[in-house]
Amino acid sequence: MAENKELNVSKTRQAIAVTVVILVALIFIIRLMTMQIVEGESYRSYLTEGYSVTKTIEAGRGDIVDRYGRPLATNVVCYDITFDKNNIVKDSENSVILELISILEENGEEWIDNLPISKEAPFEYTGTETARTRLRKHLDLAEFASAEDVVFRLKEKYGLEEMSDEDFRKVAGVRYEMDRVGYNYMTPYTFAKDVSSVTINIISEHSYYFQGVDITESYSRSYPNGDVAPHIIGLTGIIYEEEYANLDKTVYGMNDIIGKSGLESAFESTLKGKDGKMKITYDAEGEIISEEIIEEAIPGATVVSTIDMDLQRVTYNALEKQILNLRNTAEAGKGKESEGGVAVVIKVGTGEILAAANYPSYNLSTYYEDYSELLATEYTPLFNRAAEGLYAPGSTFKPVVATAALQLENITARSTVDCQHVYTYFTDYQPTCLGNHGRINVRHALGYSCNIFFYEIGRIMGIDNIRQYAYYYGLGEPTGVEIKERIGQVSNPDWASDNGINWYHGDVLQASIGQGYSLFSPIQMANYVATIANKGIRVNAHFVKSINSHDFSEVLYETPIEILSDMQMTEYTYETVLSGMLQSSQDSSGFVWGDFGMKVASKTGTPQTTTKTVNSTFICFAPADDPEIAIAVIIEKGWQGYTAAPVAKEILQYYFGTETGNTPETEILVP
């Protein structure tokens, strides 16, 4: 019985095997008949008449220009080396790649290589963990696979076993990149971008050897005025793998260029443009017989910034000159230690930022070549101090407290506080003033920057009222700028509690003179003083004036002026604060304005950064009787607020074309 049962099982298995063979044979027969009869015509057509592929026509990236249309970021036509799989000789990729690399190296040029393996043996992992994980996955290796395992698999996969380590690494980087970006008969591969005419000529002269290698036209980002506001204009670069995962694959390819920072990033969708499509038909030998544009490429729109290129340069130069002057001539502890600095110029009433200079800085045109050097340079030239730097305002905050006290009717222009150098209201905390001013009103308290006056009125009002008016002025609030900014905060018990800090009654006093935990960006401070000049109406600060079509034939968008807050400042409050800021231009920085032919309303500040150094902060607007522009200047470790004033003076001289002369005598505007 058992033998019969085994015999039956064996016969059944044989029957199943025969059936499977018959089915597979039938499938092949049916497929062959389909190819010969149903699809035969199309295959014959492919072999005898050729074939067609659709390729992308790259759209030009939109320009970024200054407020007068002068170019800050634009495009230049460049030439790339690409591989076309339709025409390349079979199994010749490795030798062609090596020969191309040799040509590029001889001419000091680079090619695309994103393989996260060191360039020299012994080979080790490089790059991000995301890139390394993607590589191992591509090679069907375990997550714990070593760099040695990866090298072995790369050699095996791409037929590189007989190559030297140096040649292996070069070719493997290209072959891996080809696979990574989906190189196939429909998708060419960009081997190198923006190559020189010398390289192009060499390849063209040896075209018989470089079959399937094309020279294609594309665009390269150019910064004809790369030293102008580089932190604001921003940079472009090749898309990182982690970025690509979140991008629309129908819009971006893996080797596309994308905005990385500044306006280039903020207006990426506007600047990008829309790629077109071209149908290319080849004959049976792979020669192109026709090209047809199916869809025209649409270039990106033009971003018209609010920046005045000439004023930006004047602002930067004035900032640099003053910082270097302090380093070279000031005494130790009195500005000689000056580090970086920043100056922001904003148009009163519109919020247009005319200049935003960071010192030290860099040039967009040479950013990638200079990158390593920039990282090693003192005082962080790559840091955007204007938007992302946070600074204690020091006494430049006092107009906030004065405004609040006047608006809330805690004081009048005639109210006085007795300054005897030491504030004695509290027994356990008695901060001091730099002077001994006696009975002093708000006008002179702003002029002489009397701490005692502001300790007292700050204590009377309380921190909540101070915070409220700081909000009206936009301090510790988003400004509206289109680029990345840090917000900072007004010193307050909620922030202290959230950060595990005890809040004491003395903290209110420190907040009243711009110390404590208050930190603001220079753009906030410039917009704050512009809000004073605009009689308490705060509008959105912005770097973009409009978006225009590429040929400027149409305005697609204009940045609206938005009222972000309105404290309903009374004329009495405005005139009183103005009189104090005019007094400050005489008492605190009068040596700067002695020969200036225009009234300037200003306030100095000397916020302490360490026990030994203080920053120099300065705010102003002009003309005082009909404000047009407002300025904030900060010099890190600049010692006194007035040391930043010469920077503002040079800016105003350029903007108004002011000749030196006698400054009109400051009037007492409030009786």
Q: What is the pLDDT of residues 527-546, one digit of tens each?
A: 999 999 999 999 999 999 99
Spatial distance between the Cα atoms of 436 and 454, rounded to a whole number of angstroms = 14
Taking residue 665's Cβ as centre, other Cβ atoms within 10 Å add up to 7
* Residue 13 or 580, more confident: 580
Q: Which residues neighbour 394 within 8 Å (Cβ) at sequence distance 6 or greater?
A: 513, 514, 515, 605, 606, 607, 608, 614, 615, 617, 641
Q: Tell me which DSSP letter residue 585 carries.
A: H
Given a cut of 60, whether residue 290 has pLDDT beyond it is yes
Share of the chain above pLDDT 90, in %: 72
How far is residue 306 CA from its own chain's centroid?
16
Measured in Å, how far apart are the chain's first and last C-alpha atoms?
126
pLDDT at 70: 96
Q: Where are the domains of the chain?
A: 52-305, 309-656
Dihedral-angle region of residue 568 (phi above 0 means left; psi in -120 to 50 means alpha; beta otherwise):
left
Domain 309-656 has CATH 3.40.710.10: yes
pLDDT at 21: 47
Dump pLDDT digits (tens) for 443-480.
999 999 999 999 999 999 999 999 999 999 999 999 99
Confidence category of residue 50, pLDDT binned at 50, 70, 90: low
Q: Is-contact 391 607, C-beta < 8 A?
A: yes
Instruction: Indicate the helix (H) or strand (E) that contains 304.
Output: strand 302-305
Dihedral-angle region of residue 639 (phi above 0 means left; psi in -120 to 50 means alpha; beta otherwise):
left
Find the range with the poorest average confidence among 21-35, 180-194, 315-329.
21-35
* Residue 386 or 20, more confident: 386
Dump pLDDT digits (tens) for 558-601.
999 999 999 999 999 999 999 999 999 999 998 899 888 899 99
Rounded to 5 degrees, what are φ and ψ at 361? -135, -165
Average pLDDT, the chain: 89
pLDDT at 4: 52
pLDDT at 52: 79
Given a cut of 60, whether residue 484 has pLDDT beyond it is yes
Dump pLDDT digits (tens) for 610-660.
556 799 999 999 999 999 999 999 999 999 999 999 999 999 999 999 643
Given a cut of 90, whether residue 283 has pLDDT beyond it is no
pLDDT at 12: 53
* Mean pLDDT on 1-30: 51
Given a cut of 90, whether residue 389 has pLDDT beyond it is yes
Q: Tell me which DSSP letter residue 132 carries.
A: H
- Give, in order, the Cα–Cα distances in Å from 428 to each of 202, 501, 503: 82, 19, 14
Q: Is-contact 628 603, C-beta < 8 A?
A: no
Given a cut of 80, whether residue 373 has pLDDT beyond it is yes
* Residue 394 or 9, more confident: 394
* Mean pLDDT on 45-52: 58
pLDDT at 661: 34
Given a cut of 90, whether residue 94 has pLDDT beyond it is yes
CATH fit for domain 52-305, picks 3.90.1310.10, 3.40.50.150, 2.60.120.200, 1.10.10.10: 3.90.1310.10
Confidence category of residue 289, pLDDT binned at 50, 70, 90: confident
Winning range, highest mean pLDDT, from 126-130, 162-166, 256-260:
162-166
Confidence category of residue 609, pLDDT binned at 50, 70, 90: low
Confidence category of residue 15, pLDDT binned at 50, 70, 90: low
Dump pLDDT digits (tens) for 54-80.
877 888 899 999 999 999 999 998 999
Confidence category of residue 13, pLDDT binned at 50, 70, 90: low
* Residue 48 or 380, more confident: 380
Rounded to 5 degrees, what are φ and ψ at 250? -80, -10
